[in-house]
Structure 1
């Protein structure tokens, strides 16, 4: 498999425009960004896009509550989200909003294709209605028991425990989160798309989009379930795109959110004056790759509705869709009501962004189990492993280099040990390729242990042979250079400081060159700043 010199488009699921980002939003973006940085190190051309999901009832209600227009609300959060991502070294080539003209044009095109092919049905259905707020309730404003596994406090469209998808009216003991009242069932007319033929014809193709076995099992459930059609409309009042030639009907937010993967990249191509690039990625015969990162709560939309949309628009399917678990805090579901919740802003005020990137990487693989942000575990992994075992390595020999050798390296190193470190590179790149960042971190720790043992065994502080001492120091720096390269996609800010210290910008080709006679530079002491447990406890 050729891992290098490819052209790739990467997307993440869309953060919602009605609030500030929390650490759960960062999990997916960091996962994608680590993979992107690895790909760039190995000479691939990457485009990274995302958007804010900027339609829906929650946005309408929040703008009413704040007495501002929805457009102002979503634009304000869009700026905040972009800043938050940059604070964690996540730089999108283009970050947009679903509320844009290109997205509206594409969703209307999709709708007219549906009409032309007689794929739309009108049905009268019953939906939950909040009589105190005079509004049909969106799925996320209804809580109750899951009808499949009976877990409490599950949303009206899916269960976070068993990942089942269901109709909100099947929820047990439903309650409106707007008024804390029991909603009534009210009859209303809606627009449905026919899914049956698509599921039957494309079940093999759909499963090929995913690389995790647990996901395939879940998709099989979606394919064989009795859901023959899907509701793509919502009632007034609503903030979103109006459905053409319909009265008080709007496109469901999930339809334009999925289509925004296409429209956002199209807008990016227009902005760089390369509209041909869009066709090169999205036409049916494209040789380019598209990788999409999502959470396990939205598998249904990306396994059934998203391929359905692409099919009708005559566009290619993604190369792979990578799914991750939810983020929990100290073993419990994130919740504002129980104060078990960490915003991006509260974290970044006190802590280095790379610490969180490293911690997430130490837990990320293709496993879709939930990932726990445990305060004690975070403290130990950052202070005693990342800082003490890895970043601290050059500090163990820097005084000898500075005081005796004027920061200049020798031309002689332990080449056997150096070659042993290089020998791991193909396996490291393969682990990155397979999204197994947990194992990358484990190998980096192993190599750091080997290097620390090498320094301890050779005792430079007791060495009276100048040439041998110079070789020990130069070997240590060159081995450390390899470690920094291997972990660079995970901790980019710290790696940048370490690259300045080494006097080299590290790429895959850096493995070929031994640093000889090089002069190393000043080492930033701030990268050794440890986490204070008292500050950490204040996060929650």
Structure 2
């Protein structure tokens, strides 16, 4: 079991980590863009922290409230809870197949979450940050429901984007309200909404604006896109935001006179990072330990989100914590990715543009997708998925550069050694090569620490390239005696370093590699920079990856169409699709 030590910051505070990924809204299965923006990236970073020995809790869960779920349940003729129970179970199974392992994957229907949300908003109400206002809100006469902000679609008044939602424009990132949209339409049926009078409870963000601004300006860990978007919103001034809705499916608002109202999903979902931490430690029988994570100044809270979720994590969530009057730790960083697009287009389920999480693992094992997505992670700008680039990364980099290097070294070691011999040492020539590997390994470490996962993977691949160059130039199989033992000892040590560097990205493959190398319990980050242990019993090596031909890709695409035909008919055999290829 990996050591999970507690480290201290320069002020002597214990450094603990809370990692949170945006809660997947389980109206549908996540697509690849959803995964790289939140769940997968958070898993990779958490695995790195745990390899380093930090105390870290990774929390997320199913976001299951709100009108979209209500509407879908009506279409299916079931209660919303029946739909979300089914979808939650599906997501849990998918995460397991993807190797995404939150310490607590919970749901917004959790009793702990519902209690915490109501308790938190009661404190905020009692502190005077909530007021009521009668307002005219969009009502769809055809669907006979009040429309949540995001269910009103229209033209953004700032940038002219024609498909802006009533809560935020995904094109320019500006926070909106439905009345601000030009030519608003109901997102469900396309009809023009009416405006009807209703009473709602508002969070007075104006009174929290100065404190939120100080937090943003003083936080140098925020990436540029999160910082600039947040400062832009603050420059325009924060306005009160309605925190209640007229829909039935949600957490009942705890305010006096608010019977029949529920809490807006975005205001409750962000509180889930705290409630999920509470729930996690309750399950462990350590009731109050969550406070060490949310009230200890040494804690670093990191969110993994898409850029469209930035305001809710950098402004709304901190404002809610501040309004409670309690001394919560503020979020340290929000790793907010740009968008992953699919062959130049936005993901669209109706138009069959993109790949969804369930479809991906029906086609190939998860590590292939994990490697490609991190390699192509949209950290600084939008990135584009194409099948050609996928094949190139899998075949040329994952298989040829990384996989072949590992397999060649292990095959040579198994054939000539069997057991790593005692007394073997590196001669000076090999020590110089190994020193270069350690320099690159430090770069890998630094990039992981900066949450630059794409760069961390690129530097990890460079370790394999150094090993390949050595193999091709030195040709150790032609050597004998001391020179051969030194060369192979150094190469096995490179494989060891490479395995730890790649462990957060492709855990299934690396666990198999560690088994072949004789490491039954795995390795820690601190082991990566040490030569391979002598006396290890090597197992028969097998290739970790394989190439994908154009012909096989065509078969995969045909299978993808078949799966989607079944899904479109509403009879999708989930359990079959969940089985990865052998």
| Coarse TM-score class (shorter-chain normalised) | over 0.9
Contact 2:243 2:267 in 1 (8 A): yes
For residue 45 of structure 1, the aligned residue among 55, 70, 77 is 55
CA distance in 2, matches of 1:445, 1:257: 37
1:326 aligns with 2:336: no
Contact 2:518 2:539 in 1 (8 A): yes
Contact 2:406 2:495 in 1 (8 A): yes
2:493 corresponds to: 478
Distance 1:42 1:111, change over 3 A: closer
CA distance in 1, matches of 2:238, 2:60: 30
CA distance in 2, matches of 1:217, 1:137: 30
2:396 corresponds to: 384
1:182 aligns with 2:192: yes
For residue 494 of structure 1, the aligned residue among 484, 509, 516 is 509
For residue 315 of structure 2, the aligned residue among 304, 327, 330 is 304
For residue 525 of structure 2, the aligned residue among 496, 504, 508 is 508
CA distance in 1, matches of 2:489, 2:124: 67
Distance 1:208 1:74, change over 3 A: farther
Q: How many residues in Structure 1 have an aligned counterpart in Structure 2?
A: 537
2:243 corresponds to: 232
2:273 corresponds to: 261
Contact 2:186 2:192 in 1 (8 A): yes
Contact 1:240 1:250 in 2 (8 A): yes
The superposition leaves residues 216-275 of structure 1 with CA deviations (integer Å, 9 ceiling, x where unpaired) of 221122213244311111114444424443232221111211222211111111111112
1:142 corresponds to: 152
Contact 1:365 1:435 in 2 (8 A): no
CA distance in 1, matches of 2:425, 2:307: 51
SS in 2 for 1:349: helix
Contact 2:340 2:378 in 1 (8 A): no
2:548 corresponds to: 530
Matches within 5 A, 1:108-119: 108-119=118-129
Shift of 1:403: 4.1
CA distance in 2, matches of 1:290, 1:451: 37
Matches within 5 A, 1:76-475: 76-209=86-219, 211-244=222-255, 245-283=257-295, 285-313=296-324, 314=326, 315-364=328-377, 366-367=379-380, 369-406=381-418, 408=420, 411-413=424-426, 414-460=430-476, 463=478, 465=480, 468-475=483-490
2:536 corresponds to: 518
Shift of 1:117: 3.2
CA distance in 2, matches of 1:501, 1:174: 60
CA distance in 2, matches of 1:217, 1:405: 57
* RMSD across aligned positions (CA): 2.5
Shift of 1:430: 1.2
CA distance in 2, matches of 1:219, 1:509: 37
Runs of 5+ in structure 1 lacking a partner?
Answer: none
CA distance in 2, matches of 1:41, 1:179: 50
SS in 1 for 2:377: coil
Contact 1:447 1:483 in 2 (8 A): yes
CA distance in 2, matches of 1:405, 1:237: 68
2:82 corresponds to: 72
Contact 1:120 1:192 in 2 (8 A): yes
Contact 2:46 2:56 in 1 (8 A): yes
Contact 1:350 1:535 in 2 (8 A): no
1:17 aligns with 2:37: no
Distance 1:342 1:197, change over 3 A: same
SS in 2 for 1:486: helix
CA distance in 2, matches of 1:533, 1:360: 18
Shift of 1:333: 0.9
TM-score (normalised: structure 2): 0.86
Distance 1:408 1:176, change over 3 A: same
Distance 1:124 1:216, change over 3 A: same
CA distance in 2, matches of 1:218, 1:289: 21
CA distance in 2, matches of 1:398, 1:303: 47
Runs of 5+ in structure 2 lacking a partner?
Answer: 1-6, 562-582
